[in-house]
Chains A and B, each alone.
Chain A
Amino acid sequence: MLDIRPNHSSSLREKQIDQLKNRQLAAADALGVSFEKPIISVQSLTKSYHIGSMTVPVLKGIDLSVKEGEFVSIMGPSGSGKSTLLNVLGILDRYDDGEYVLDGTLIKPLSETEATRHRNHLIGFVFQSFNLLPFKTAIDNVAMPLYYQKVPRKQREERARKLLERMGLASRMDHLPSELSGGQRQRVAIARALVTDPPLILADEPTGNLDTKTSEEVMELFTEINHEGKTLVVITHDEEVAERTRRVIHLQDGRIRH
């Protein structure tokens, strides 16, 4: 089932191809033409936090474009604005200026209800600390997003079961998160992110709490999902994780480093 390209020793040649491709894409962006439809399109995006009377700028003009089917990682030291960028990309937080278009929709003026609807239909989240509801079984956790889409119980359970089977967790469906290993929990979380069949998966340090072997398994799973056509954006500070993705975006001090 997991027939994944053995790419853990990403070859120099592949890197060169990617760089070439990125240069072409950058050139295309500059010319205003695009070869593929962008799912994420961010222009001159800024965001500041207000702490008391102080204004702390966090994102200082981000330009970013992610095409459908891409597998991108965003890297940067702590304080570089990674999490804030993920919040904005995930429609979990507002931004101040600039423009963010997700799947053809300008995100800024959305009402809270619309934002929720877009989040529910377009984005699946995977977190560092899994963030499963501790009092729900694996299958119930996976089915939760469908509950908020008002999908009937039977269908919810069927889809959740199929995904968990695919994740190799057929025998763990009725277990609580506390009865699962870290890797199993993250696979449950990934199944949950996939259950609504969103075009975009946002992952925030998805391997941060996992050992090396489990991390590799998770990254293989991500690659497989990417091959199925999903766009993946992974935030990480782990070089090895970044190397597994097709494109690495470096964030430093609120700006993208070219």
Chain B
Amino acid sequence: MIDFERWAELGQSLSKHKLRTGLTAFGVSWGIFMLVLLLGMGKGLERGTMTLFQDTALNSVWIGGGKTSQSYKGLTPGRTVGLEIDDVALLENLPGVEAVGPTKLLDKGYVMRYGKNTGSFQINGISAVNAEIQKLALLSGRQINQLDERESRKVAIIGARVNDVLMKNQLSPVGKTIYVGETPFTVIGVYNKALGEQSPNRVYIPYSTLRQVFDPAPTVNMLALTVSPGYSWPDLKPEAIRLLSQRHRFDPNDSAALEIYDISDEVKKVESLMSGIRLFMIIVGTGTLMAGCVGVSNTMLVTVKERTREFGIRKAIGASSADILFMVLHETLVITLAAGYVGLIAGVGLVELISQAGIESDYFRDPQVDLSIAISALGVLILAGLIAGYLPARQAVRVSPIEALRHE
């Protein structure tokens, strides 16, 4: 009964002061909304960036030929270092190396045909080892295996774009035959994402098949190497470079002769970037929250000042200081809680909408809100509101009602 009376009184007080109520509510809603949005977007950024590495083994190192920058044993600088298939065996014997595989991307596109549909696509030759390292993200079918490689089978993993153009996005292209020139290839898989590709529009075939059908030269673009557990690339690097430098005759100290990408190193760089971004978000988030707190506190402060007279009247007609304090805190709690809830729902809703809409790029995907953080942020705002309401209200109820009443 008494509770109902309090709520009725509260409802009247809030609804008769729409501007005051609205401003406080807006401050809280907006603060929480922005915070939730910030947290959600941050999560999306983190997830997007980390997926850049999902299509490659994290313990892999990619080595490609470069151009010498120093003279070596009478050879002039500026020579191209071309890696070859024999380098695979050379590096494989190095202790600490798990596996090595070649990739060779043919420069020009080849016209391919399926039924009446044709298109020109690039061909990439890889080995079974490489297929594991590179982790083509398959929509259907299987990876290239050692048997394919040994027997130089005419099998292909095609990109989703290729499937789109040649087979009009057929649901099960696996087992179908496409023609590259006059050579038939059996489709064994479809991928939708691969390292170093903007869109999946290549055709992967076994390296040995590529040499047999298209280009007999023993060259490779890159060697993909994985490091055995318990070893790290910096330990192996000097010996690997020494072996390659002997074979290809360049100065082992010439850093331009080879292009080396250590994925674990790249991951570390990105992780440190992410922790920087995370720190930045914590600072911005805390700032947003503080701005919200200041806003709510300020409104409460002004509100209470403005209501000194009302409190005086209430006191003179029989309200105790406790009654008035309770009233102020009750109002603050209800406004901040309701408004915070609205902000929370709006923020989570928007983040969810972005996530559902599938807005994503290389650096952004699947934004998500950490609800526990958002709710504790709301808690902080409510606490700030309560303190900001309580302190001046306690001051105000101490003032003698007659003074409060005479003070127009």
Query: A residues near B, CB below 8 A?
Result: 83, 86-87, 90, 92-93, 112-113, 116, 119-120, 125, 127, 129, 131-133, 135-136, 140, 144-145, 147-150, 152-153, 192, 196, 204
Contact = CB atoms under 8 A, between A and B. Distances in A.
Interface residues on B, range: 20 to 34
Contacts of A116: 315, 318-321
Given A135-B16, A135-B17, A153-B5, A145 B318 contact: yes
6 contacts: A116-B318, A125-B317, A131-B309, A135-B13, A136-B12, A204-B402
B67 interface: no
A92 B319 contact: no
Contacts of B406: 83
B313 A133 contact: yes
B34 interface: no
Lowest 6 CB-CB distances: which A-B pairs, in order?
A: A120-B318, A135-B16, A148-B318, A116-B320, A145-B317, A145-B318
B313 A129 contact: no
A131 B312 contact: yes
Interface of B: 1-2, 5, 8-9, 12-13, 16-17, 309-310, 312-323, 400-402, 405-406, 408
Given A127-B405, A129-B405, 11 more contacts: A87-B402, A92-B402, A112-B320, A113-B322, A116-B315, A129-B408, A131-B312, A133-B314, A145-B318, A148-B318, A150-B5
B256 to A, nearest CB: 80
A125 B316 contact: yes
A86 B310 CA distance: 19
B400 A92 contact: yes
A137 to B, nearest CB: 10
Contacts of B315: 92, 116
A84 to B, nearest CB: 9
Nearest to B17: A135
Given A135-B12, A136-B12, A145-B317, A86 B322 contact: no
A147 B316 contact: no
Contacts of B402: 83, 86-87, 90, 92-93, 204
Nearest to A135: B16
Contact of A147 (B9, B309, B310, B321): B9
Contacts of A204: 402
A254 to B, nearest CB: 17
A112 to B, nearest CB: 6
B400 A148 contact: no
Contact of A112 (B5, B12, B16, B321): B321
A133 B400 contact: no
Contacts of B313: 131-133
**Residue picked from B309, B312, B319, B402, most chain A C-beta under 10 Å:** B402
A3 B316 CA distance: 30
A176 B309 CA distance: 17
A119 B402 CA distance: 13
A218 B402 CA distance: 21
Contacts of B8: 153
A93 B406 CA distance: 14
A129 B408 CA distance: 9
B317 A192 contact: yes
B320 A92 contact: no
A92 B401 contact: yes
Nearest to B6: A147
Contacts of A148: 314, 317-320, 323
Contacts of A153: 5, 8
Contacts of B17: 135
Given A92-B400, A131-B312, A204-B402, A150 B2 contact: yes
Contacts of A83: 402, 406
A133 B310 contact: yes
A145 B317 CA distance: 5
Nearest to A121: B318
A136 B401 CA distance: 19
Contacts of A196: 318
Contacts of A149: 318
Contacts of A86: 402
B394 to A, nearest CB: 12
Nearest to A94: B400
Contacts of A90: 316, 402
Nearest to A114: B320
A185 to B, nearest CB: 13
A147 B12 CA distance: 14
B280 to A, nearest CB: 46
B9 to A, nearest CB: 7
A150 B5 CA distance: 9
Given A131-B312, A136-B12, A87 B318 contact: no
A196 B408 CA distance: 27
Contacts of B309: 131
Contacts of B316: 90, 92, 119, 125, 127, 131
B78 to A, nearest CB: 87
Nearest to A140: B12
A257 to B, nearest CB: 23
A132 B16 CA distance: 15
Contacts of A87: 400, 402
A125 B405 CA distance: 12
Nearest to B317: A145
A30 to B, nearest CB: 32
A166 to B, nearest CB: 19
